[in-house]
Structure 1
């Protein structure tokens, strides 16, 4: 499992998949040692940072539901630790992903998924008409502020390394003049999703965002987004504007019932460890809003997956975990039953403790529910209680599901 986890983590940095997974739910806050209530303030501040990072919008803190939740931040905390950063006391805070996601749902706020566009940043400073490019290890204050602010907002950045290819591949005049050709050529070597050019002169900034990779710019450059910032914290304004752009583009408004769902069937699940590994992996996918167990029978597990993206995106994310292989629908045996939106406990594995079958299922026996589920045999079909109470049928539920995807656990 550790090996699989390492493989999954490594996928983030592969050139073929530039999207970067952001840690949305952990943050670090500097403590005010002069204030007796600094710990309380730090917890509120940390939760505010997480909410802004998860939504991509500072105005989310003005939401009435969020304001109330901030006063009860302990309900959302999962980790607190104190640290010393060069003599400055800080507090690292971790927050519960399910609880924060539930809060956003209750507040009807959009969620900006953790897999986000990686932005290549070309930053040029003009000091008395002496223009320089800020490379990855440059001692540039605007660049340091940019990287720090972007990290706090969950905006993944890539800064050019400044090697021989970079130095000889682009001129400051190309960046200052916003010449698309040279910028695209110099950017094409970096596997990023967008290119941001920032021109700094005193306390004023002009910026240009190309929502394309360098290679895409070379093939077919589209109209960029431009902006300006000035005042005491112009870099913060730039990060805020760019973050809001990507958040509005990619965020999803999570409702209590996702607008799109798909049935996903997983076979060859041999034991509880594999079941929980699969379920944990599915819940972590950015395309998944929620999971409902449809059926467990033998070594087969079926879920109804409420999606935050398309079924195709969900399928790609599942395969990217390297835990399962896709099973072509033509190879599925003709005798296999279709999803019935009940639970079937087979002889191969039992319904793991802690799943939804524990409290929300009743046993169907000869089309009539019996009050005692313990009398069920290994192959007894179990139908969800909500279905029994409302009289829903399998055909009713199947009409809501666009398709079934089939996967097989890797040996």
Structure 2
């Protein structure tokens, strides 16, 4: 028992790693029973919430690639179940984390990692002549708005519990007046990464974010972030600003490499207009996330197509295009990747005569230049890949010929006609 107590004390003494792992891929949406296909609409709404939460970008759902994926939302759903929210039926959804991350990378959207900064919130509300600290169990519309919006954005918040240590550790005047030393000391009992002080007056909020560990508040010279918001949704605006700040600070954009990518070659593209027409048609396909041009040779173009769906669905969509006909697929030649190239220089030492040769004098003409031997060690062999073949059958582009108007023709004829002098 003694050893257990010492172990626990040791853990308390160690600096806490306060980053909180947020569940990004689960959500719950109330079903709108007044519309048809309420479940389908709820899946779209749930996927939008997950994409915003995972990317940290409120505008991510407007991305063209994401818009295509929303129409195929069922392939991103991992689990579904029904629940209740305030007496209304809801749909609980769990989305596939690898597929959502792959979608974000295909759309060139940032990925905000699930390990996120935890904010301790000191909220003071002013009503009439009183100012009160809002604790975790307090009834507060502002706090409810903050919690709801923070959960939607995936921003972890910690609210002080309001026990004896909290009540005696900090005063309302300290929070309202911006006295940071007592605020930092009172916050040290919570394993958080930052401290947020919010002052609410009616529909107005003023806030200060100390983006640092509580133990360093008032000790270092790090400047806090401050802002203000107005209106009935002031708390939601504040959470959006804070979420955008942390997402920009921590999110990364992953290269647009997709595990679902195929090579596709189109032939008979005899002019630039045909190429751009085809490219635009391919980008509009719901199965296509992005296109990379691998090679242009003569009237052939080879694309690397990143898919949002299966190869079969892609082929079906391409076959439905007006001016495209599918041909038999071909296999690309394997490529040998060279590693080290070692050049073996010729030796300048005289070569001893072969003992098996007779002792007759042999005159050998020395070459003017000795070509060194080259030893090549292959690093790896890239296996052959299947290339889907299609033929473009659109009509070639014909530049319009300017047509002269009748008045211009008449005037030209008049200029060409010789003058007639009447007597």
Common fold by TM > 0.5:
yes
Runs of 4+ in structure 1 over 6 Å off: 394-398
In the superposition, relative to structure 1, how do residues 65 and 397 fare at CA in structure 2: closer, same or farther (>3 Å)?
farther
| Aligned counterparts of 1:61 and 1:233: Cα–Cα separation in 2 | 22
Given the alignment of the two structures, is residue 97 of structure 1 paired with residue 97 of structure 2, yes or no? yes
CA distance in structure 2 between the partners assigned to 1:140 and 1:106 by the alignment:
42
Aligned partners of 1:223 and 1:191: how far apart in 2? 21
Aligned 8 A contact 1:185 1:218 in 2: no
Aligned positions, number: 259
Corresponding residue of 2:205: 205
Render the CA deviation track for 1:34-55: whole Å, top value 9, x for unaligned: 2223212111110110011011
Deviations 1:264-291 (A, max 9, x none): xxxxxxxxxxxxxxxxxxxxxxxxxxxx
Does the C-alpha gap of structure 1 residues 72 and 184 become closer, same or farther in structure 2, counting only changes over 3 Å?
same
* CA distance in structure 1 between the partners assigned to 2:200 and 2:254 by the alignment: 38
Which whole-Å deviations, capped at 9, do the CAs of 1:337-392 have from their partners, x for residues lacking one?
A: xxxxxxxxxxxxxxxxxxxxxxxxxxxxxxxxxxxxxxxxxxxxxxxxx9x73415
Task: Calculate the TM-score normalised by the size of structure 1.
Answer: 0.59
CA positional deviation for 1:219 = 3.0
> Which residue of 1 is the match for residue 363 of structure 2?
none
CA-CA distance at 1:160 after TM superposition:
0.6
RMSD between superposed Cα atoms in Å: 2.6
Question: Residue 129 of structure 1 aligns with which residue?
Answer: 129
The alpha-carbon deviation at position 236 of structure 1 amounts to 0.9
Query: Where do residues 255-274 of structure 1 align in structure 2 (5 Å cutoff)?
Result: 255-256=255-256
Residues 204, 228 of structure 1: 8 Å contact kept: yes
Shift in alpha-carbon separation, 1:251–1:96, aligned structure 2, 3 A: same
* Matched residue SS, 1:132: strand
Q: Which stretch of structure 1 is more off in the superposition, 158-167 or 214-223?
A: 214-223
| Aligned position for 1:143 | 143
Query: 2 CA distance for matches of 1:136 and 1:237?
Result: 21
The within-5 A match list for 1:357-396 is 389-393=335-339
Largest Rg, 1 or 2:
2
Contact 2:337 2:378 (C-alpha < 8 Å) held by counterparts: no
Q: Distance in 2 between matches of 1:81 and 1:88?
A: 14
Q: CA deviation at 1:179?
A: 1.8
Partner deviation per Cα, 1:189-224 (whole Å, 9 max, x = no partner): 211001111111111111111100110214314101
Tell me what 2:231 maps to: 231
The normalised TM-score by structure 2 is 0.58
Q: Check the 8 A contact 2:336/2:378 in 1, yes or no.
A: no
Deviations 1:280-337 (A, max 9, x none): xxxxxxxxxxxxxxxxxxxxxxxxxxxxxxxxxxxxxxxxxxxxxxxxxxxxxxxxxx
CA–CA distance in 1 between the matches of 2:192 and 2:378? Answer: 41
Q: Give the Cα separation in 2 of the matches to 1:219 and 1:128.
A: 35
**Per the alignment, do residues 158 and 15 of structure 1 end up closer, same or farther by CA in structure 2, a change over 3 Å counting?**
farther
Is 119-128 or 81-90 further displaced after alignment? Answer: 81-90
Secondary structure at 2:29 match in 1: strand
- Which residue of structure 2 lines up, in the alignment, with residue 43 of structure 1? 43
Paired residues of 2:146 and 2:236 also in contact (CA < 8 A) = yes
Task: Give the deviation of 1:227 after TM superposition.
Answer: 1.1
**CA 1:164 to 1:66, structure 2 compared with 1: closer, same or farther past 3 Å?**
same
